[in-house]
Amino acid sequence: MQQAKPSPSPKKKIVPSDRPYPIVYLKDVKRIYTLGNNRIHALNGVSLSIKKGDFVTIMGSSGSGKSTLLNMIGCLDLPTSGKVKINNIDLSKLDDDGLTAIRRNNIGFIFQQFNLIPTLTAIENVEIPMIFNGQSSEKRRRKALSMLKRADLPLEFANHKPNEMSGGQQQRVAIARALANDPPILLADEPTGNLDTRTGNNIMELLKQLNASGTTVIVVTHDPKMEEYSNTSIRIQDGEIIK
């Protein structure tokens, strides 16, 4: 089984070819979970194509399958059937470390819960993805600082631990971390869900800015107001795209 799957070397950057292709491509993707005797169709034949530089919102109520869809794009989950291509790489051909390499170099994650490492300071949290990318400590430090600046975190917080920061500040650290390895795609799962409206809007503005500088941004949300930030909006219901 292994030898049929040529996986890219984990530390090597996967170089996209010159031919134009969608950065995210899903074809007839199904994801079925088995819970006891029940088979749950979380995704029921989703086809989707996202171009480089898009700002996409994926809308849907809870249980609609929008998080499952995001996990597929983020290489955290594999489809039961169908095809997923990220940056023109077919995920079905990759093993565990291959998927890790795609995540490391192509995707920045932003979570609703921020998901920072509690023992590490803000700047160290931003360094984490660069460690796994084999960067030297000096380079990491410099890059992490510039990413925190880019995410608008006041720099006096750089040496603070997550529990010493507000929710908005933590989310900025998380965004800086997501940007650390210069991924072409940013995935955000309800990034404003744990924030008040004003802070939430600031975060969305930040994502908008990042999108303007060329990063593809995909945001999963159930808040219809988020749609106004995006240029493409996808609505999902019962595991199928309805718009």
Partner 1 sequence: MKMKDIFPSMPSMLKNNMYVELAKRNLKRQSVRTILAAIGIIIGVIAISSMGILGNSLKLSVTDSFADVGDRLVVSPAPGENQITERQVDQMRKVANIESIIPVSSSGEIIEYKKSGATIQSFVSVYSISKDDLEKLAELEEGRYFKAGSTDCVVGAGIASNLELTPGQKIELDGNKLRVVGILKEKGMGFDINTDSGVFTSQEMYNKLYPDAEEGYNTVIVIVKDIDNIDAVSDEIEERINKKEELVTVFAMNVITDSLDDVFRSISMFLIGIGSISLLVAGVSILNVMLMSTMERTKEIGIMKAVGASRKDILKMFLLEALFLGVIASTAGAILTISGSYLIMALIVKNTSYLLTLSSMFYVLEGFVFGIATSLVGGMYPAWKASRMKPLDALRYE
**Residue ranges in contact with partner 1 by CB under 8 A:** 10, 71, 74, 76-77, 96-97, 100-101, 103-105, 109, 111, 115-120, 124, 127-129, 131-133, 136-137, 140, 177-178, 180-181
DSSP 94-162: --HHHHHHHHHHHEEEE-TT----TTS-HHHHHHHHHHHTT--HHHHHHHHHHHHHHTT--GGGTT--G
Nearer to partner 1, 23 or 229 (CB): 23
Q: State the nearest-atom distance from the C-beta of 134 to partner 1, in Å.
A: 8
Residue 227 Cβ, how far from partner 1 at the closest point, in Å?
26
Residue 50's φ and ψ, nearest 5 degrees, are -120, 130
Q: In the bound complex, what is the minimum distance in angstroms from residue 22's beta carbon to partner 1?
A: 23
Phi, psi of 57 (to 5 degrees): -110, 135
For the bound state, the minimum distance from the C-beta of residue 180 to partner 1, rounded and expressed in Å, comes to 8
- What is the smallest separation between the CB atom of 95 and partner 1, expressed in angstroms? 10
The token pair at 84 is 């997923």
Rounded Cα–Cα distance for residues 192 and 125 (Å):
20
Nearer to partner 1, 21 or 111 (CB): 111
Q: Which is nearer to partner 1, 30 or 235 (CB)?
A: 30
- In angstroms, the CA 163 to CA 177 distance is 17
How far is it, in rounded angstroms, from Cα 52 to Cα 216?
Answer: 6
**CB nearer partner 1, residue 65 or residue 74:** 74
**DSSP string across 160-205:** --GGGS-HHHHHHHHHHHHHTT--SEEEEESTTTTS-HHHHHHHHH
DSSP-assigned letter for residue 77: S
Closer of 36 and 118 to partner 1 (Cβ) = 118
Least separation in angstroms between CB 51 and partner 1: 24
Residue with Cβ nearer partner 1 (80 or 201): 80
